[in-house]
Amino acid sequence: MSRLPETGPSLRRHIRYMERQANRAANASPFSRSGTGVTGENELTVDGALIVTGHMEVGGTLSLPAGIIDNDALANPVEVDDFNHTETGFDPITGTGATVSAVTLTVPEGFTQAVVTAVAYVAIRNTTPSTSTQIHAWAMVAGFGGPTDDERSDPGVRSTTLAVFSTRVDGLTGGGTFTVAAQAYAGADFAADANNVATISGTVLWLR
């Protein structure tokens, strides 16, 4: 009587072969080591890092725990600064604008725009013996001037002006600079006077 063929070793070899094939298929998948898995209906969980180098669109609500964002562009999209500078005793220019007080603002790294609100305060003493005229002052931001404030100036009297100008400055780069200034002139030939005061002050919002 002939013996039946031995099936045990063949079955084991077949199972090991299928295991190797399954491992090869799993390792060939780009998701095999990504920590990505389907954890529920319409739910995909990523346990590791998700790196997106192209366009990403989120159609639903993006919910993030507080304090997990470490990118400055997201955590600190706006930076606030203020500025103030005063000059005294200057000689007013006659008939045309001249800077009487100025500050240079430096753009923080990572910012490309600035919203600047500048206040120009100018007080000039009329040193003429008999000429009544006007003094004129305005704020200048990055080369652009705001509205002019004009005040009557009588002989021997110190007259004051106050001009406010708000504007947006764009095309900036980190480390770059621009100037904010108070500019003024007198309608007559005034002499330099210790009582002359010019202040440029204000606030700047740096934007990404």
Architecture of the domain defined by 77-207: Sandwich (2.60)
User: How would you write the pLDDT of the chain (208 residues) with one tens digit per residue?
Assistant: 556 555 556 777 777 777 777 777 666 566 666 667 667 777 778 777 778 888 888 888 877 777 676 676 676 789 999 999 999 999 999 988 999 999 999 999 999 999 999 999 999 999 999 999 999 999 999 999 999 999 999 999 999 999 999 999 999 999 999 999 999 999 999 999 999 999 999 999 999 9
Reported as half-sphere exposure (CB side, CA atoms, 13 A), residue 188 has a value of 18
Where do the structural domains in the chain lie, given as residue ranges? 7-50, 77-207
Q: 3-state class of 17 per DSSP?
A: helix
Q: Evaluate whether 30 touches 23 at the Cβ level (below 8 Å).
A: no
